[in-house]
Amino acid sequence: MTTIKDVAKDAGVSVGTVSNVINGARVGKEKKILVEQSIQKLGYEVNTLARGLKTQKTDYVVVILPELENPFFSLILSNIEKALSERGKQIVICISGGDAEKEAKFINLAKRNKIDGIIGITYSKIDKYLTDSMAFVSIDRHLRTDIPYVSNDNLAGGRLAAENLCLRGAKNLLCFQTISSLDSEVRNRRRGFEQYCIDHGVRYNCAEFSETQGSSIYTSFGSRNLIRNVLNAYVNTDVDGIFASSDHLAVVICEEARKMGKHIPEDLQVIGFDGLRLLNYGSPLVSSIEQPVELLARTCVDMLMKILNHEEVHSITNLPVRFVEGGTTKKMER
Amino acid sequence: MTTIKDVAKDAGVSVGTVSNVINGARVGKEKKILVEQSIQKLGYEVNTLARGLKTQKTDYVVVILPELENPFFSLILSNIEKALSERGKQIVICISGGDAEKEAKFINLAKRNKIDGIIGITYSKIDKYLTDSMAFVSIDRHLRTDIPYVSNDNLAGGRLAAENLCLRGAKNLLCFQTISSLDSEVRNRRRGFEQYCIDHGVRYNCAEFSETQGSSIYTSFGSRNLIRNVLNAYVNTDVDGIFASSDHLAVVICEEARKMGKHIPEDLQVIGFDGLRLLNYGSPLVSSIEQPVELLARTCVDMLMKILNHEEVHSITNLPVRFVEGGTTKKMER
DNA sequence: CTGTTAGCGCGTTCAC
DNA sequence: GTGAACGCGCTAACAG
């Protein structure tokens, strides 16, 4: 392996000068050319470990995600990757499976490895593992007062869902969500939903179920039986509009309701949350409140950059959402 | 930050002894306990940069992927992550967008950063960027004779597709694929398809289209017009069975064919490749040849570990595939 | 501008 | 079994 010393010797200058050339400091024209030639000739490349040891920085950013098989998370990762790579940062992924210990382990590793910062979407209790020294941006979750977080306008999203069900003729609504949602900003989806119903005198109920721990806690496919049971309790009442706390849940609800003989959207309208699309590109899977994933990712990354730059940052929780028509709600006249 | 020196001082031993404790070398019992206590007390953690500088290893592995928004790739990443994290490796992701330069840049970065190895699924010409010194495992692509690769049994997959179309009554088949597929092992899908047709005297055609470069080259949603044109040329012949080289393509073909008035699977049966499912968990999106993604990932990782271990490895190209029923082929009597 | 040098934190010789 | 000293490759501070 060729080092900075070899280059210095070959170019007939000192290592300091070589270092200056590499890092764009002012260097005399001729020496600079000499050094560049030697670098070319020897095929020299900086050893970022040595550099990091000195500077305590690595240009790595850890992204913590509960899952990758859930398209919503891979979509977020994809967008974060774009924004981060534009900033010259590389991404180390941590797939936590919702396991707080694994998250903690990774945060520790990140510290040891002198990772520049962390962007995390986490629903477990990791507050105590976070040292003040780490640059951390949270998504959809308020972790600690000193940790900024970014989320869409969940309150407006919930309201929007209720409103769109009502506009399409639903009279008796149901808010259907997972327990784990209760922990995070996501709970505001329900709040917004309830607000609208109360403000407009709409009949409504709220149902929730706890997802089974394990392989696919964020997918709602593992908990199909639970969902079926909850749904059973409502399907034969005159509930005619359901707001599900995620598209995953909405898809399963639609499937199960159809099995129970319901026609969607004629008998029962369903609105999900996230705005997922077929293969991430095609048509919406269900009618939904769409999250601005790209903006969300970009906002997180900007925020992290500011922190690394020692600028002051504040949480942002009002990223705009919108209703998208996906075939599980009735068409509206214009 | 507390260093190994601090621990040594606190424990009243030398740094060498502390190092030995950390790395499990033989150390006197009492001193060992002393050191461990100090480590606890001071909250000491090894600086992996300093260690890496010395050992030239980092426990990082780069995974190169064309895209993340394509569920097939995120599924692969998910499975690779599982296998790799079991081995104590961390993952740095490189999303290339099919850009050879970006891939090259990352391979270089990996070298500079003393990354342990690379697992890559790449369709561009990166042969020349690969230095012999890097541990590299390729997926679905034969890059160079000295670089091992892993792929499923594409030949059998193609045959299986043709066979299943025929078993379900299709008489005039069409193999529909993208140009970019031609470059890699994926081309064997067509070969297998043709083999079966020739062996069994089945009428068949092959159509291909070149995907537009850009944002979503692997998704087949950007190239909808092209697909439509190709399809148009065949849809009014008596073609009644299509084998698409990916599920993405199959989905678009189905949509477009339906728009053209075809009923699927009655008038036209379609089989894709990959075995993607709704939201990665639900029912198959289309009838398809399913890839053993988990096995594929595990095989890659095992192979990489062997390389790092200086064991000899050989390419594996016969991972088993199977047909999955997804509603775009007719039901078969049993 | 340029060269010299002192660490960054750790692993690894050797002597003992 | 233990400790002192050296070097991994680089940056930054300083002196010239």
A119-144 pLDDT, tens digit each: 999 877 777 777 767 899 999 988 88
DSSP line for B66-81: S-SSSHHHHHHHHHHH
Averaged over B69-96, what is the pLDDT?
96
- Give residue B214's pLDDT band: very low, low, confident or very high (50, 70, 90): very low
pLDDT in tens, A306-328: 999 999 999 999 999 999 999 99
Name the residue among B171, B89, B161 with its Cα closest to residue B322: B161
Q: Is A215 touching B (CB cutoff 8 A)?
A: no
- For A53, which of B53, B60, B276 is closest by C-beta distance? B53
Question: Which of the residue ranges B21-30, B150-159, B242-251 would you say has the lowest mean pLDDT?
Answer: B21-30
| Cross-chain residue pair A68–B49, CB shorter than 8 Å | no
pLDDT exceeds cutoff 60 at B330: yes
- Res B100: pLDDT: 85
**Do A293 and A73 contact (CB within 8 A), yes or no?**
no
Mean pLDDT in chain B? 91
pLDDT exceeds cutoff 50 at A214: no
* Distance (Å, whole) CA A147 – CA A141: 10
Averaged over A193-206, what is the pLDDT?
97
Positive or negative torsion for Cα B247, B273, B334, B167: positive
Q: List the single residue in A with minimal CA-CA distance to B215.
A: A281
- Give residue A61's pLDDT band: very low, low, confident or very high (50, 70, 90): very high
- Res B281: pLDDT: 87
- Res B181: pLDDT: 60
* Protein CA at A54 to nucleotide C1' at C7, angstroms: 9
Q: List the single residue in A with minimal CA-CA distance to B65.
A: A78
- Res B222: pLDDT: 67
- Give residue A225's pLDDT band: very low, low, confident or very high (50, 70, 90): confident
Name the residue among A110, A146, A105, A145 with its Cα closest to residue A126: A105
Instruction: Specify the DSSP element, H or E, that contains A271.
Output: strand A269-274
Give the residue with minimal CA–C1' separation from D9. Answer: A50
| Cross-chain residue pair B95–A114, CB shorter than 8 Å | no
- Give residue A40's pLDDT band: very low, low, confident or very high (50, 70, 90): very high
Residue A12, nucleotide of least CA–C1' distance: C3
Q: Which residue has the higher pLDDT, B17 or B180?
A: B17
- For B74, which of A68, A111, A113 is closest by C-beta distance? A68
- CA A242 from chain center: how many Å? 25
- Give residue A215's pLDDT band: very low, low, confident or very high (50, 70, 90): very low
Please name the residues between 106 and 165 in chain B that touch chain A, using a CB distance below 8 Å. Answer: 108-109, 111-114
* Distance (Å, whole) CA A60 – CA A114: 8
Give the contacts of A86 (CB within 8 A, at least 6 positions apart): none
Q: List the single residue in A with minimal CA-CA distance to B92.
A: A92
Q: What angle do CA B294, B299, B302 make, to 5 degrees?
A: 125
Q: Which residues touch strand C (CB under 7 A)?
A: A 12-17, 20, 25-28, 30-32, 50, 53-54; B 1, 3-5, 15-16, 19-20, 22-23, 44-47, 50-51, 53-55
| Cross-chain residue pair B45–A282, CB shorter than 8 Å | no
Q: What angle do CA B208, B213, B216 make, to 5 degrees?
A: 95
